[in-house]
Every structure is written in structure tokens, then in C-alpha cells.
Structure 1
């Protein structure tokens, strides 16, 4: 994959298994806090991998003790001096990077190895599936620095995951939500021991890769698109189109043939 050849200042990329790319936030000395450079590199990586047919799943994790501590407070001092248009430009840059991650055609699995605060929580929410280490914790840190908890998609995504009442309480207080509570609320899919987290994420990714590329990608498209609409009829229309398209490719006939012949299917995505 061409995207793996590039070198990044704030990220490390590695293909840990066929079709599975692990993207690691790599500022451990700052708890992987976000900077303008990280925003730009996240967007570049997401868009680059999205164009790689060989990439079937992206796993997103953090180096060291934290997943992501949110926007780096060492850079936050300049925010008040940017002016309204300068601040809007920075905010939109960050939002574009998370939108690029969420909009990838392949599944994104967040392996949340430690604290995910503020924008770090928003980045975890942008993934399709979240696995947490028992050392993980989440908080809407924006509220504690005089900003809104409605930041980088958190107000939209968290409400849909855990409901408006729980979201309101977490966002208005800025308190920490530990891994076990996050699991109970539905914020994360599962909790792993710290030394097992990445392995569990890779096992999940491998299970996804066994399915047809087109089937997985159109499933993700349907799931995300139908969060945006309120009509059952419109949801059915979208699903119908996806199923009709997939019968035109080679993977569904291959799956049926493999079933009849009692063998694993060989999917090509064509």
C-alpha cells in the first residue's frame, strides 16, 4: 500500500495483518494530544487509505499511556488571539480530519488504550467500533476549559450511542467515565486487559476481513446513512440499492459456490 510508505510526524502506520492497517497516534510525551499537524496527517492518512483497495480495516490506537488527550494545551494559548475567522479555520481543519476518518469506506476500529479526553473522545466516537483497555477513560474535557461539549462531532455521535440524558450528564459535568461504565452505557463494545487490547482489535479486524469487501463497505454505508434519515421507507430504498449492486459483482456468487462446495470463499471485491 502506497500510504504505508509515507513518513508522518505524529502518526505511525503498519500493516499488522493482510488488509489491516494500524494507525498509531505517536506523541506519547504529550499523551498523543492533537495539533494542527496531527489534524492534517489524520486527514491525509484517512483519505489515502480510503483509496487503497488492499486496506480492508483501519485500527486506530495511541502510543504510550493515553489514546488521545484532546487538543494540545501547549498550543491552546494562541486560540484567543486567532480572531473569529482564524479560529473557525482551525476548528474546520480538525473537523475535516475526523470526518475523513468517519467517512472511510472500510470499518474503523478504535483500540482505546488509555484516556480519551475532549477531541480524543470525539476521535474515538468517529470510529465504527470501539474496544477499550481497562485503563481507558473518557471525558468531555472541552467544558472544563470554557468551551462547548459540542466539539468535533461529539454532541451528535455520543447522543446516538448512549442517549440524550446520559450524554447531557457527562457533557455538563465533564466527569471521567471509566472503561466499565463506558461498556455499560454502550460507548464501547468491549473492555480488554491492557496487554490484550491490540490483539483483540486485530482479531476483530481479521473477522471483518473474512467477509466480502463490497458487502462490508455497503453495510457501513447503509448503517451510517440511515443514522442521518428518519424515514423507514428511505432506509429500505438505500438497502435495496446496495443489495442490487452487490449481486452484480463476483463475491456473492463465489460465496454461494463456496457454501455448496463446503470450502471457504475467496473474495476479490470485484
Structure 2
């Protein structure tokens, strides 16, 4: 008997670029544990794959991810013998780990939002570093529509930082849809592109990022996220300064950039002296 196709696919469409695809299109790539556990494991593996400089995350079929699967949630690992409250806590921990894995990846992550990003699916996009949407994409903070809170998986933390507090309050408290055009206008995504151009647009962006210094991109990602978390400007500026000194003193990439501009050529960055 042929084994079923995995719920998470990993491809290498271009050098130094990994494409991770949620592959349960018949359920709009909902966040069943049978999908989220392998996604967590794939992300934890890719972060240490030094051939990969940028990760692109997308969904198969017509949806990015429709959030919680209310019909077939799948199996949660390591919960045998637990009572219902503790089972719930462990279940949420698995999903939390996916969001944190995206944020902690050494590589920048681009969310190629090809369709619906609902509830937890919206959270997945917000945990990525960059979001590019197809014209068919739309976003919804769905918890409020289901008699729950709209706050889940970091949404009430990440969304205000992405689009501002007033817009985040409105979207989360009304449960309305945000289409790709509005998402671009309010800064929820960097831009929208025609559906057939979505992956190539993400790959082109990934290749540009991959052409820069590895420690430069890794530290830029870290300081951007730490800036969103920072308790004070002064503390954040110190972290920025240390990162800049690290790259400046331990690589020759600055000198290479200066030489390349002088010689009117593309720089050839390396990660060591």
C-alpha cells in the first residue's frame, strides 16, 4: 500500500531557498495536529540547514490555512493519561511551539499567502518576517465569530505591532474579513501580486535576501523582532550596536561592499574573515 502524501512538503525551488507547503488542501490546510506537529519538526530541522538562507511558507490549494480544524483535530503527542485540562494545555503548547519556531528561525521567513488565512492561519502569517499576498488572499481573526476570544497564538501581541492598535482592535473585535487590497494598504502585507505570480515574487525576494551577508541578515532579523519586544529605546539601541559591531569586526563584508561600489559590480559577501 502506498503511504499518503505528507501533510507538510519541503522543496528547494531555487538555490538557498526552501519552500514549506502545508499540504492538506481538502481541509484548507487547517491546523490539525497531524499538520502542525510535522510543521514544527520541519521548521526546527530547517533552521539548522546551513544551505538554506530563506524559507518560504505557503499552503496547497486555495487556502493558506483556515485555522483550527473543528472536525478532525488529529492526535496530540505525549498526552496519554492526562486529564482534560492538562490535555488542553499541552495541545496549546504544540501550537505555540510552531509560532515560536517561525520567529526563532535563523533564516528570514516569507509567508506566501495564497488564500484564506483565518484564525490560527492569520497567526502563522504574522509569525513570518515578511508577508506577500496573492490577490485571492484574505485574513480573518475568527475566534470572536466562534464565541471565543480573538486572542490566540500571539495574535493580540503581533497584530497591533503589524498594523497599529486601532485597526487591530477593530479587526479582532468584529471578526470581519480583510482582503488583499486592504491588507496591503494597512501594512498587514508588504504587497499583493496576481495569484500566478505569488511564488515567483517570493522566490525573487528570497534570492535578493540570500545574496547578503548571512550574519547581517540573521542579526537584522533578531534586532527587528527584539525592537518590537524592547522595553526601552536605549536597550534596543545597545543591542543594535552590538550586532553592527559583530558583523563589522568579524567579517570583511563592509570592505567588500565598499570595493564593489567603487568597482561597479555586485558584492560577493562571505561569512568569515
* TM-score, normalised via structure 2 length: 0.91
Count of residue correspondences = 263
Matched, 1:233 2:255: no
Counterparts of 1:168-183 in structure 2, within 5 Å, are: 168-183=169-184
Q: How does 1:179-258 map to 2 (within 5 A)?
A: 179-247=180-248, 248-258=250-260
Report the CA distance between 1:261 and its aligned residue: 3.3
The farther-off stretch of 246-255 and 208-217 is 246-255
**Separation of aligned partners in 1, 2:75 and 2:195:** 36
Q: C-alpha distance in 1, partners of 2:65/2:182?
A: 19
Moved more, 31-40 or 89-98: 31-40
Local SS of the residue matching 1:152: coil
Name 2:264's counterpart in structure 1.
262
Q: Distance between the aligned counterparts of 2:112 and 2:75, measured in 1?
A: 31
Q: Which runs of 5+ in 1 are unaligned?
A: 1-6
Structure 1 residues 219 and 168: alpha-carbon distance in aligned structure 2, compared to 1, 3 A threshold: same
State the distance in 1 between where 2:181 and 2:126 align: 17
Q: Which runs of 5+ in 2 are unaligned?
A: 77-81
Matches within 5 A, 1:25-174: 25-75=22-72, 83-174=84-175
Match of 1:17 in 2: 14
CA contact (8 A) 1:115 1:138 kept: yes
Q: Please give the TM-score of this superposition, normalised by the length of structure 1.
A: 0.92
- What's the CA shift for 1:8? 7.5
* CA-to-aligned-CA distance 1:194-245 (integer Å, 9 cap, x gap): 1111111111111111211111111111110111113111111001110111
Contact in 1 for aligned 2:59/2:114 (Cα 8 Å):
yes
RMSD value, Cα = 2.0
Q: Confirm or deny: 8 A CA contact 2:119 2:142 kept in the other structure.
A: yes
